[in-house]
């Protein structure tokens, strides 16, 4: 089944404790991205990657890191999480980076930073 998977789905952590949210897609998509969704602010892009070893900042990259060592995986790293990073996070992928490409989302990761 074609899908985007994320782990963990739910995470409670404390300020400053490094964490990684994994994202994997099995559709051989070139383009992957991370969003966060907050009430009243909608979906905002954190980082995106157009291919292996190619990443770029989205609208809200501060406090986050990403890597794209393999085509299928695009982990999101919070080196020192803070309470303002409490949010619902979505990973997404699409076949290429052309403007007509359909984007597919993972199921989301709910993060609470205490």
Partner 1 sequence: RKEVEQDPGPFNVPEGATVAFNCTYSNSASQSFFWYRQDCRKEPKLLMSVYSSGNEDGRFTAQLNRASQYISLLIRDSKLSDSATYLCAVNNAGNMLTFGGGTRLMVKP
The CA-atom distances, in angstroms, between 84 and each of 2, 63, 81 are 33, 10, 8
Decide if residue 74 touches partner 1 (CB under 8 A): no
Decide if residue 95 touches partner 1 (CB under 8 A): no
Contact pattern for partner 1 over residues 37 through 66, marking x by CB under 8 A:
---xxxxxx--x-x-----x-xx-------
Decide if residue 103 touches partner 1 (CB under 8 A): yes
Q: Which is nearer to partner 1, 9 or 18 (CB)?
A: 9
Decide if residue 2 touches partner 1 (CB under 8 A): no
Residues, the chain, total?
A: 114
The CA-atom distances, in angstroms, between 38 and each of 35, 70, 106, 107, 113 are 10, 29, 16, 15, 14
């Amino acid at each position: 089944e074609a899908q985007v998977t994320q782990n963990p789905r739910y995470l409670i952590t404390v300020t400053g404790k490094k964490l990684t949210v994994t994202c994997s897609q099995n559709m051989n998509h070139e383009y992957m991205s991370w969003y966060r969704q907050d009430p009243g602010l909608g979906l905002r892009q954190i980082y995106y990657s157009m291919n292996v070893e190619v990443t770029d900042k989205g609208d809200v990259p501060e406090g986050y890191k990403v890597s794209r060592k393999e085509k299928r995986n695009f982990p999101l790293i919070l080196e020192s999480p803070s309470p303002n990073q409490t949010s619902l996070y979505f990973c997404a992928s699409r076949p290429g980076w052309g403007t007509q490409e359909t984007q597919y989302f993972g199921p989301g990761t709910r993060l609470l930073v205490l």
